[in-house]
Chain A
C-alpha cells in the first residue's frame, strides 16, 4: 500500500571539493547543498530559500557561481566545487572578505558566503562601475545591509575609488 519505494537509488560520485578529492556514495536525490552541509560538514554554505532565488547557497562549480540548493550532488560528479571554506586562508581573511569586514558589508552574515562566492567567480573587468556591480549582486538577496556597504566593499577590494 505504501506508494513510497524503498530508499531511492544511490550512486557513487567523485569530485573535488575545495581542492580535496572526495568519493562518496549518495542518494541520487540528495541536493548538492545537503551533501556539502550534512555529509561533508561544510556548513558555511547556507540555505535561504531552497528554490534558487536568494543565492545564499551559491558555490563555485568549475569556477562558476552556481546554486547548490537546486542542484543534485550527482550533478557535481567529476567537477571541482569551491565553498566559502575553500576561499578562506588558514589565517585571517582574503582581500574580499577583509573588505567586507572593513566596510561593514555584513550584519547577520547568513547571506554573506553566497555574496563572496558570486564575487569570487566573477571577473571585475566585466563590472566596471557601481551599476554593474549592483547588477552582479542582484542575484544574491541580503535583508540586513541595504547593499550599500557591500557595494563599497567590492569597490575597495577591486581597487576602485567611489562610484
Chain B
C-alpha cells in the first residue's frame, strides 16, 4: 500500500516516511527484556499494603467490626465508611439518570458480592490478608434480584430505597413513521436475544500505589484515564488538583475495564495521606472477577418489518441492559445507548424505534468493555436478518448485498443520526465472501468422510463508531484531547499527549505522526503519556479514539512548531520563509540544495544561540494544541437523533466452524476479516488490534460467561471458571485491509481498537446454524454458544424429528 497517499497535502513536512510502513514498535524492547514497569513493580520505601474486605452476600445490610483486625500483627490501619471523614461520594453528574451515590466503602448496605466494606493496611500483603480474616461482619440478608426480568417485576426488591423501581435510566423512543411502515409491511419477523455478562479481563489486574509527600499526592495506577482520575480525586478527597499527580505506568491491558475509576484508587490516596507512608493495593484475580466492572448483559427484543425480498424496512423493539448495582463511574448504562445507535449497522434501514431500559441488579456493576454495545448490536441485527431471509425465502448473502451501503449512498445518515461519510461496505463484504467460500471448502475437504462433525460458514457486517463523545457516559467532557510538541536545544523532540496506552502501540503511533508531520527521524522523538505532570490534559485511551483525536492535536501542534522553525531556518539561511522547504531532517532553500540548516541548528538557535533569532521571533520551539473531534453530538438533538462518533470504520467478518455432533463442541477453524479504518498509520499494529479483538470476540461467543445463582452469588470467580481463549481456541485469522480515508479526519485515519471484537458472535452463530442446517435446530438467540448449549439444541431438534416420524421408522 502506498504510505501516505491518503494524507492531505501540506499536513506533513514532505513525503511520508513512516506513515503506512510496517514499523516495529518503539515500546517493545524494554517489555521483552522484563524491564516494563507495571504498578505492582513500583516499589517505594516504607510502603504498606492495603487489602479490601468485600461483601459475601449480594444484598444485605452490613455492620463491620474491625477491632480484632486492628489488633492483629503488622496492621497499621483498618477503616470502614464511617472513618472516611472529609470524603465525598463520586458525584452523580447526570440529571436524567437516578443517582447511585457511589461511596468508596459501602455505608451499611452491600448491593453485590464483592462490594467493598472495609480497607485494611498492614506491613505486607500476607499480614494484611491474615488480619482481614479477623473482621466480624454482621449481615442482615435482603432479597436479591439478579435478572432483568426479576428486577423489573412488580414488587421487586429495590436496590435503592428512594427509587420507585430498579430502572436507572430509561431512554424512550418515538417514531410514528416506524409504526406506519410496520402496519403496511409485507411481513414481520421477531426475535428475543440475550448477550451474556462477560468482560474485559486484562492479564494485569487493577492496582494503585499512592505517596503523599511534601504536600503533594502522587498515585501510580493501572488506568486508561489518568487525568479523569486526577479530576475526580480532587473532587472526592478535596485536594487541590495542582497537588495531585497521577501516573499510569506500563498498563497490562485494559480493554475498557481500566477506563473506569474504582474505590481503591481513592482509598490508597486517602490512606497514604493519613498514614504518611506509601500505600499499595494490588487486586488479585478472584477480586478482579467480582470487583472490577463487568460488561454486556443485554436482552434485546427486536422485530423487523420486511418486504417481499426480505429487505428490512424498519426495526422496532426494546433494549434491556443489566448494569449490576450501577455503582461505577463512568456510568455503566451507556453501552446500551451505543447498541441503540448501532443496531441497523451498515444496512440501509430507514426507520427505527427502539427504547432502552437500564436496570440495576445485585451483581457487580457493569460498564466498559471493548466494543461497548456494538457486538450486541451486530449479533442482533445479523440474527434478525437470517430470520428475514428465511421468511422471504431469499439467499441470506443476497439479502445483505441488497441492503448494504453502496458508494452512492454516502454520506449516509442512519435512523439514529450516525453520519457515515466514507467506507467500503459492499466491496469488503464481497471480499470476505470470496475468502470465506474458499476457507469453508478447505475445511470440508479436511473433514470429508467424518460423519461425526459438520462444517459451517457464517458472516457479519458492521460499523465501528470511533472517536466518540465522552459526554454520554460521563455527563462531562466532550471528546477533546491534547498534544504538546517540544524541541530540545539539541534537536531532539519530546511529544506528550493526554491519550494513553494499555498496549495498543500509542507511543509508536504518536512518534510516527510526529516524525512525518515535522520531517524528523523517528529515533529523535521521545513520547510521554500517562503522567498528568508531564502530559497536557486529556481524556485517556478508550473508544478507538487515540489516533483520531491525538492526530488532530498533532497536526496543529507540530504544524505550529514546523512553521516557526521554518521562519528561524529562513533567517539563518538568509532566505524568505516561503522559499524554505523542510525534508529529510533539514531545511533547504528551494533551488539551492547546497545551502541548508538542520533541525538541530534551528533548535539550538531557538534556545541557546537566541541572538541568532529574527528580532520578531521569541525564543523556544514548542506548542501545545487541543483538538475536538469534528461533527459529533454530545447530547441527542431535538429530534432524538445523535451522531456520537466522529467517524465510522467498517469491516466484514467470516467464520468457518466445525461442530462435533457427539458433544456439541464448536471449533473455529478459520476466521477472516476485511477491514477498513481509512489511512493505515501502522498496518502491523492494526492487525494486532484486530487479532486481539477477534480472540476476545470468540471468547465471548463461545466461552466467557459470568453467571450468578438466584441468590446473587457469582459462579465464575477464578480462571478455572472464567474461560479465556487460549492459543488452541483461537484459529488462524486472515486480514485484508481496505483504505477509505475519512476526509474529515486528521490523516484520513479512523480508528481500529475495537473492530475485531464486534463481529465474532454474529458470524459464529450463523456458522453454527449453517453447519447444523440439516438438523433444523432452533434459532440461536443467545451467547455463549457452548458445547452443552449446542448439544441440547441438537437433542431438542432430534426429539422433534422423531416425534414427527411414524412409529417404527427410527
Taking a contact as CB atoms under 8 Å apart, the answer to whether B692 and A106 are in contact is no
Q: Using Cβ atoms and an 8 Å threshold, which residues of chain B touch A83?
A: 34
Q: Which of B35, B71, B250, B503 contacts A2 (CB 8 A)?
A: B71
Complexed CA–CA distance, A144 and B501 (Å): 12
For chain B, give the interface size range: 35 or more
Taking a contact as CB atoms under 8 Å apart, the answer to whether A54 and B203 are in contact is yes
Q: Using Cβ atoms and an 8 Å threshold, which residues of chain B touch A111?
A: 203, 252
**Known contacts A41-B43, A51-B719: does B691 contact A148 (CB below 8 Å)?**
yes
Determine if B491 is an interface residue (Cβ-Cβ < 8 Å).
no
**Known contacts A148-B730, A151-B727: does B33 contact A48 (CB below 8 Å)?**
no
Q: Which of B25, B27, B204, B694 contacts A146 (CB 8 A)?
A: B694
Q: Which residue of B lies closest to A163 (CB)?
A: B732
Q: Which residue of B lies closest to A107 (CB)?
A: B503
Chain-B contact segment, one of A9-17, A60-68, A70-78, A97-105 = A97-105
Q: List 26 A-B contacts (CB under 8 A).
A: A2-B73, A4-B130, A44-B34, A45-B34, A46-B252, A84-B33, A100-B28, A100-B32, A101-B24, A108-B502, A109-B31, A109-B36, A110-B38, A110-B202, A112-B32, A113-B34, A135-B728, A137-B727, A139-B726, A143-B724, A145-B692, A146-B690, A146-B730, A148-B733, A149-B687, A151-B727
Taking a contact as CB atoms under 8 Å apart, the answer to whether A144 and B253 are in contact is yes
Q: Using Cβ atoms and an 8 Å threshold, which residues of chain B touch A45?
A: 34
CB distance from A41 to the nearest CB of B (A): 7
Complexed CA–CA distance, A98 and B40 (Å): 26
Determine if A142 is an interface residue (Cβ-Cβ < 8 Å).
yes
Taking a contact as CB atoms under 8 Å apart, the answer to whether B32 and A49 are in contact is no
Q: Which residue of B lies closest to A98 (CB)?
A: B32
**Known contacts A109-B32, A110-B252, A113-B34: does B724 contact A147 (CB below 8 Å)?**
no
Complexed CA–CA distance, A53 and B716 (Å): 14
Q: Which residue of A lies closest to B756 (CB)?
A: A146
Complexed CA–CA distance, A128 and B795 (Å): 39
Q: Which of B672-728 contact A (CB under 8 A)?
A: 684-685, 687-688, 690-696, 718-720, 724, 726-728
Q: Which of B71, B690, B727 contacts A150 (CB 8 A)?
A: B727
A-B contact count (CB 8 A): 199
The 10 closest A-B pairs by CB, nearest first: A44-B34, A108-B503, A110-B252, A109-B31, A146-B691, A146-B695, A84-B34, A53-B719, A107-B503, A43-B41
**Known contacts A1-B68, A46-B204, A148-B730: does B73 contact A109 (CB below 8 Å)?**
no
Chain B 250-266 interface 0/1 with A at a Cβ cutoff of 8 Å (1 = within): 11110100000000000
Taking a contact as CB atoms under 8 Å apart, the answer to whether B204 and A48 are in contact is yes
CB distance from A150 to the nearest CB of B (A): 7
Q: Using Cβ atoms and an 8 Å threshold, which residues of chain B touch A29?
A: 126
Q: Which residue of B lies closest to A103 (CB)?
A: B684
Q: Which residue of B lies closest to A142 (CB)?
A: B203
Additional A-B contacts beyond A107-B503, A110-B253 (16; CB < 8 A): A43-B38, A44-B34, A44-B36, A48-B285, A53-B718, A53-B720, A54-B724, A106-B31, A112-B31, A141-B724, A143-B692, A146-B690, A146-B692, A148-B732, A149-B688, A151-B727
Q: Which residue of B lies closest to A111 (CB)?
A: B203
Q: Using Cβ atoms and an 8 Å threshold, which residues of chain A touch B696?
A: 143, 146
For chain A, give the interface size range: 35 or more
Instruction: Give the interface of A toward B (CB within 8 A).
Output: 1-4, 6-7, 27, 29-30, 37-38, 41-51, 53-54, 56, 83-85, 88, 92-93, 97, 100-102, 104, 106-113, 116, 130, 133-135, 137-151, 163
CB distance from A59 to the nearest CB of B (A): 11
Q: Which of A3, A109, A150 contacts B503 (CB 8 A)?
A: A109
Q: Using Cβ atoms and an 8 Å threshold, which residues of chain B touch A148?
A: 691, 730, 732-733
Complexed CA–CA distance, A7 and B756 (Å): 50
Determine if B543 is an interface residue (Cβ-Cβ < 8 Å).
no
Taking a contact as CB atoms under 8 Å apart, the answer to whether B40 and A147 are in contact is no
Complexed CA–CA distance, A9 and B728 (Å): 43
Chain B contact surface mostly: loop
Determine if B201 is an interface residue (Cβ-Cβ < 8 Å).
yes
Chain B 311-348 interface 0/1 with A at a Cβ cutoff of 8 Å (1 = within): 00000000000000000000000000000000000000
Taking a contact as CB atoms under 8 Å apart, the answer to whether B201 and A143 are in contact is yes
**Known contacts A54-B719, A108-B251: does B43 contact A38 (CB below 8 Å)?**
yes
Taking a contact as CB atoms under 8 Å apart, the answer to whether B202 and A108 are in contact is yes
Taking a contact as CB atoms under 8 Å apart, the answer to whether A109 and B728 are in contact is no
CB distance from B464 to the nearest CB of A (A): 17
CB distance from B724 to the nearest CB of A (A): 5
Q: Using Cβ atoms and an 8 Å threshold, which residues of chain A touch B693?
A: 146
Q: Which residue of B lies closest to A115 (CB)?
A: B727
Taking a contact as CB atoms under 8 Å apart, the answer to whether B29 and A101 are in contact is yes
Q: Using Cβ atoms and an 8 Å threshold, which residues of chain B touch A143?
A: 200-203, 253, 255, 692, 695-696, 724
Complexed CA–CA distance, A101 and B505 (Å): 12
Q: Using Cβ atoms and an 8 Å threshold, which residues of chain B touch A100?
A: 28, 32
Determine if B177 is an interface residue (Cβ-Cβ < 8 Å).
no
Complexed CA–CA distance, A45 and B204 (Å): 12
Chain B 270-310 interface 0/1 with A at a Cβ cutoff of 8 Å (1 = within): 00000000000000111000000000000000000000000
Q: Which residue of B lies closest to A150 (CB)?
A: B727
Taking a contact as CB atoms under 8 Å apart, the answer to whether A104 and B284 are in contact is no
Q: Using Cβ atoms and an 8 Å threshold, which residues of chain A touch B687?
A: 104, 149
Taking a contact as CB atoms under 8 Å apart, the answer to whether A144 and B726 are in contact is no
Taking a contact as CB atoms under 8 Å apart, the answer to whether B72 and A2 are in contact is yes
Q: Using Cβ atoms and an 8 Å threshold, which residues of chain A touch B71?
A: 2
CB distance from A57 to the nearest CB of B (A): 11
**Known contacts A49-B285, A112-B32: does B24 contact A107 (CB below 8 Å)?**
no
Q: Which of B41-100 contact A (CB under 8 A)?
A: 41, 43, 68, 71-73
Determine if B504 is an interface residue (Cβ-Cβ < 8 Å).
yes
**Known contacts A135-B728, A144-B688: does B718 contact A101 (CB below 8 Å)?**
no
Determine if B37 is an interface residue (Cβ-Cβ < 8 Å).
yes
